[in-house]
Amino acid sequence: MKKLFYLIPSLAVCGCSAGTGIQKPNVIIILADDLGYGDVSAYGSKTISTPNIDRLADEGVRFDNGYATSATSTPSRYALMTGMYPWKNSDAKILEGDAPLIIGEDQFTLPKMMQELGYVTGAIGKWHLGMGNGNVDWNSTVRPGAREVGFDYSYIIAATNDRVPTVFVENGDVDGLEADDPIYVDYNKNFEGEPTALDHPEMLKMKWSHGHSNSIVNGIPRIGFMKGGENARWKDEEMADRFLSKVKSFVTENRDRPFFLYYGLHEPHVPRVPAERFAGSTTMGPRGDAVVEADWCVGQLYSCLDSLGLLENTLIIFSSDNGPVLDDGYMDGAAELAGEHKPAGGLRGGKYSLFDGGTHIPMFVFWKGHTENTVSDAIFSQLDILASIAELTGARIPEGLDSESHLDVLLGGEGRGRESVVLEAQGRMALRSGDWVMLPPYEGPKTNLTGNELGNLGEYGLYNVAADPAQQNNLAADRPQMLDSLKSVFFSLTEGYYRAEVEAEPLK
């Protein structure tokens, strides 16, 4: 597949006077990591309580058909930042911690659009879009990175919390790095004398189940090998507090000017190591406790905005990058302790899956005084946040983006939302259109090591998800005309990109 970038045009920014009706509220996007449709009590779960996230739904818009573009992290975030389908960029797949930046420096992005409007922009939390040019020197300022795609300030982790380097990167520089203890990272071979989970299991405070047998940091085995930077390495138990502190500082320092903040929560991605005060918050072990910690973070941000008098002028969008997973590589009891809890909320599949549980995610929009308790069944994709915010603020965007403006839907109006959206899971694609989901006939394993169904049916799948949200009844044989209609839409949207055969990616 080829890369497809759109260059930034000269943007004409509309005014913000009362006569135009265009407003410039602060905009905050909170993106959880691997949080499922059923992990939030606003959707009716009785097995977990998320009161702070629920408040966004109770006082805002709850989307019953909110979608990420992809069932994995990197491609979903790429779509959110660029307004482009990630399968149009061959590099938009799960990235290692030393992968190069996959957004072109000249590419149009949501944060660059906000900068053009006079917003100060910040990215705090999980990044996972690559950094540098493919040969990263972590002991110098890493470029290109968040700044080059539109963020004035960034405090991020390069990839995921189970990958090296296990350090925070502030504006391109590793936070806390000491000159006499440089960092080295390698994803192919270990550094001489450095312990791994295979040769030093006695050092582990969390055991791995698959895919996490390399360098040990904070008693936890990771993906990839790392040496040095001892004082810069994070402590997993402190990660949420560290990010939240930076979020509060950013909001406070910029309270007198419009700001755009991307807040990438790391919960409940593995390894699940919430702060000790959250231990035992649920009966579901570390995963459930990590969800409660994430909810607490949302509540803390809400309170900060309230104390600064900013709630009336701040649009908050809360969502997740993809569907849920229980055993994603560590023996933390997530599967055994789940009990009656259903992370995907009864949807089929989850993370990595082409079934609806992979991309059908929780989504809420709150703006005090502008939104009210509303439930929307319109199809709204994270892909459309860019164009919708552009309409709200008066920004102009280039032609050719896949993002569509559905501002009326975003704010709780009665719009129809998207007609169709292409969904993606590790190179495989499907279509949601109206009440229907169509899956092409991919071959391959039915499940992966996580236990999640992948959606490889070996034949066409056709599901009416309004009547059958669990996708138990394949109607492809019974509704040939509907199948043909959706196939026509799907092949038109994916022309030049759809592949009938996709090699299985190794689980990472």
DSSP string, 400-435: T-S----HHHHTT----B-SEEEEEETTEEEEEETT
Q: List strand residue ranges (DSSP E) for 228-279, in order.
A: 259-264
Residue 68 lies in a domain: yes
What pLDDT sits at residue 14?
34
Other CB atoms within 10 Å distance of the CB of residue 340: 8
What pLDDT sits at residue 93?
97
User: Is the pLDDT assigned to residue 55 strictly greater than 90?
Assistant: yes
Arithmetic mean of pLDDT, 88-112: 98
Q: What angle do CA 210, 214, 219 make, to 5 degrees?
A: 95
Phi, psi dihedral angles at 67 (to 5 degrees): -130, 140
Q: Which pTM was predicted?
A: 0.95
- What tokens appear for 285 in the block? 């072990």
User: Is the pLDDT assigned to residue 85 strictly greater than 60?
Assistant: yes
More confident residue, 502 or 64: 64
pLDDT classification of 465: cutoffs 50, 70, 90: very high
- The pLDDT tens digits for 201-238 are 999 999 999 999 999 999 999 999 999 999 999 999 99
What pLDDT sits at residue 501?
87
Other CB atoms within 10 Å distance of the CB of residue 341: 22
3-state secondary structure of 311: helix
CA nearest to 504, candidates 454, 438, 433, 451:
454
What pLDDT sits at residue 374?
97
- What tokens appear for 239 in the block? 């990660």
Q: Cβ distance 410 to 61 under 8 Å?
A: yes
Q: What CATH number corresponds to the domain at position 143?
A: 3.40.720.10
Question: CA-to-CA distance for 228 and 247, rounded, in angstroms?
Answer: 28
CA nearest to 149, candidates 82, 230, 95:
82
Question: CA-to-CA distance for 269 and 276, rounded, in angstroms?
Answer: 17
Residue 98: how many CA atoms within 13 Å on its side-chain side? Answer: 17
- The pLDDT tens digits for 144-157 are 999 999 999 999 99
Least confident of 8-12, 58-62, 66-70: 8-12
User: Is the pLDDT assigned to residue 297 strictly greater than 70?
Assistant: yes
Radius of gyration over every alpha carbon of the chain, rounded to an integer in angstroms = 22
Name 306's Cβ contacts closer than 8 Å, sequence gap at least 6: none
Rounded to the nearest 10 degrees, what angle do helices 285-307 and 239-253 cross at? 20
Q: Cβ distance 14 to 22 under 8 Å?
A: yes
User: Is the pLDDT assigned to residue 6 strictly greater than 60?
Assistant: no
Helix (H) or strand (E) holding 307: helix 285-307
User: Is the pLDDT assigned to residue 7 strictly greater than 60?
Assistant: no
Residue 233 lies in a domain: yes
Residue 502 lies in a domain: no
Residue 105 lies in a domain: yes
Q: What is the DSSP letter of 10?
A: P
Residue 453 lies in a domain: no
Burial of 383 (0-12, 13-18, 19+ CB in 10 A): buried
Other CB atoms within 10 Å distance of the CB of residue 275: 17
Strand partners, 433: 420, 436
Residue 294, domain extent: 26-410
The pLDDT > 90 percentage for the chain reads 93
pLDDT classification of 503: cutoffs 50, 70, 90: confident
- What tokens appear for 171 in the block? 């504006």
Pure H helices in 342-467? 385-393, 407-410
The pLDDT > 70 percentage for the chain reads 95
CA nearest to 69, candidates 423, 388, 463, 500:
423
What single-letter amino acid sits at 349?
Answer: G
Residue 265 lies in a domain: yes
Transcribe 15-75 into DSSP letters. Answer: ---TTTT----EEEEEEESS--TTSSGGGT-SS---HHHHHHHHTSEEETTEE-SBSSHHH
- The pLDDT tens digits for 11-44 are 333 333 333 356 799 999 999 999 999 999 999 9
Residue 318 lies in a domain: yes
For the chain, the domain total comes to 1
What pLDDT sits at residue 15?
33
Could you tell me the CA-to-CA distances from 57 to 52, 144, 359, 498 in Å, in that order?
9, 37, 19, 36
Average pLDDT value for the chain:
94
Least confident of 15-24, 115-124, 342-351, 356-365: 15-24
Within the chain, how many helices (H) and strands (E) appear? 9, 20
User: Is the pLDDT assigned to residue 250 strictly greater than 90?
Assistant: yes
User: Is the pLDDT assigned to residue 3 strictly greater than 70?
Assistant: no
- What tokens appear for 282 in the block? 């649920």
Residue 44 lies in a domain: yes
Arithmetic mean of pLDDT, 97-120: 98
What pLDDT sits at residue 508?
55
CA nearest to 317, candidates 354, 262, 266, 270:
262
Question: CA-to-CA distance for 71 and 75, rounded, in angstroms?
Answer: 8
CA nearest to 348, candidates 482, 191, 169, 474:
474
- What tokens appear for 142 in the block? 């890493």
